[in-house]
Chains A and B, each alone.
Chain A
């Protein structure tokens, strides 16, 4: 078990991307331990901002800095690949590798970060235990429920000891009955994470429950930002 990241991570992301349909210009900052929520309707650009931070969508202008490192700055011709960015991503569809078991999925992440096979498997078992998944360690992702798959994806992302954790609609694939419970579990795990978390959702209540700071996006721009608890006081019903 690792002690968790102890660095003072800071995220400073000014993301400018010119798509044909929407011009995205979003600037957000966050400190260690902060959980930032991006909320907005579909097409507002929230997932794109997440992908830009992850390194999966290069920006056209602006600058993204993670910790002390500039990872993307077109003006200075700096572009760091996702591999080297120390980000962890939980995708909306989890994207667990189908040919590997839950244990091997997490171990994959650890091996990418340099552990040998034996250490990786041992450590990933610890991660799975931490997420109450020990029983499913040797199951393939297709046999896991939505909530279990989400936890494996989270464990896999955290196992790489990222500076920034990115979650794209983490509760989208959860059925309504389990939503509340899983959201509470998620809140607990995120609290334990010492780095920066950026969370995307179009559900206001998810953001209110999970995030500390919220940014509201519409048509590629930030229309409001502030403490997440203030989100409910917003008059405009953004879907």
Chain B
């Protein structure tokens, strides 16, 4: 079991040259494509592209789907994280592995799995359709499901990590004061987790916003219904490259804002 590193101190001496060189290469790996995108952006036509109705439709759809996916991930993921962190039961390791799986799986595989599960002919999907008339594939709800599938694990992992790092002392105190288990959860555990919860939600949202493979496989690709910005970029890449670049830049800008806001929370701290 790793121990937490003690207080960071800035090294006074210069790091070895090899380290600097490798670090520069690593940094360049990320910086150069971004710079290339900025250079190749058709700035003159950018405004007219950005105001095109198709782009606004894709943006609106992306926002709706990603925010919904985050909301669902929160409602389902926080209790799941709590169960994984605080409850001891046989099969807990297995549960943890399964809920982590979408992080490791290629998204297209996730989309395929969703089709087999809740597609119109999926093992559950056929009942959804026969009994409730609900069809998830090729609908906005389907896009939300796909995004939830890939982004919820991030929320669960973050919240579980935060819960594991907290030791339940305050929950004990609340118990001795007479608080019911639900009160403890909502008035002691969750408020103490607030910074971690916010970071987890934003991470989840960012992942949902950028989701492509599961969406296109499970929900399909149709403007206005399921063609979120990443899918739109994919299509525009072949038919209208300048629009693709502008759209991509938009997504990059949004992501950068998120990451800069969270910069203090994404790095390991003592």
Q: How many A-B residue contacts, CB cutoff 8 Å? A: 58
Contact B175 A97 (CB under 8 A): no
CB distance from A31 to the nearest CB of B (A): 22
**Which of these, B170, B172, B178, contacts A97 with CB under 8 Å?**
B170
Q: Does A56 contact B (CB under 8 A)?
A: yes
For chain B, the count of residues having a C-beta within 8 Å of the partner chain is: 17
Interface residues of A in 23-78 (CB under 8 A from B): 54-56
**Which of these, A56, A93, A98, A112, contacts B177 with CB under 8 Å?**
A112
How far, in angstroms, from A141 to B10 measured CA to CA in the complex?
Answer: 31
Q: Does A124 contact B (CB under 8 A)?
A: no
Contact A98 B192 (CB under 8 A): yes
Known contacts A97-B188, A98-B192, A99-B192, A108 near B169 by CB under 8 Å: no
Contact B178 A83 (CB under 8 A): yes
Contact B177 A160 (CB under 8 A): yes
Stretch from B21-29, B75-83, B179-187 that touches the partner: B179-187
Q: Does B7 contact A (CB under 8 A)?
A: no
Q: Does A113 contact B (CB under 8 A)?
A: yes
Contact A89 B173 (CB under 8 A): yes
Q: List chain A residues, Cβ under 8 A from B179.
A: 83, 108, 112
CB distance from A199 to the nearest CB of B (A): 16
Q: List chain A residues, Cβ under 8 A from B194.
A: 99
How far, in angstroms, from A77 to B207 measured CA to CA in the complex?
Answer: 49
Q: List chain A residues, Cβ under 8 A from B183.
A: 112
Q: Does A231 contact B (CB under 8 A)?
A: no
How far, in angstroms, from A160 to B174 measured CA to CA in the complex?
Answer: 11
How far, in angstroms, from A91 to B187 measured CA to CA in the complex?
Answer: 19
Contact B191 A156 (CB under 8 A): no
CB distance from B169 to the nearest CB of A (A): 6
Q: List chain A residues, Cβ under 8 A from B178.
A: 83-84, 109, 112-113, 160
Contact B176 A88 (CB under 8 A): yes
Contact A82 B176 (CB under 8 A): yes
Q: List chain B residues, Cβ under 8 A from A99.
A: 191-192, 194
- Chain A's closest residue to B173 (CB) is A95
How far, in angstroms, from A4 to B177 measured CA to CA in the complex?
Answer: 17
How far, in angstroms, from A160 to B191 measured CA to CA in the complex?
Answer: 22
Q: Does A16 contact B (CB under 8 A)?
A: no
Of the A-B pairs whose beta carbons lie under 8 Å apart in the complex, a sample of 8, sorted by A's number, is A55-B175, A56-B172, A82-B176, A83-B178, A91-B169, A95-B170, A112-B179, A113-B178
Measuring CB to CB, which residues of chain A are less than 8 angstroms from any residue of chain B? 54-56, 81-85, 87-89, 91, 93, 95, 97-99, 108-109, 112-113, 156-157, 160
* Nearest 8 pairs of A and B residues by beta carbon: A112-B178, A95-B173, A82-B175, A89-B176, A109-B177, A99-B191, A112-B179, A82-B176
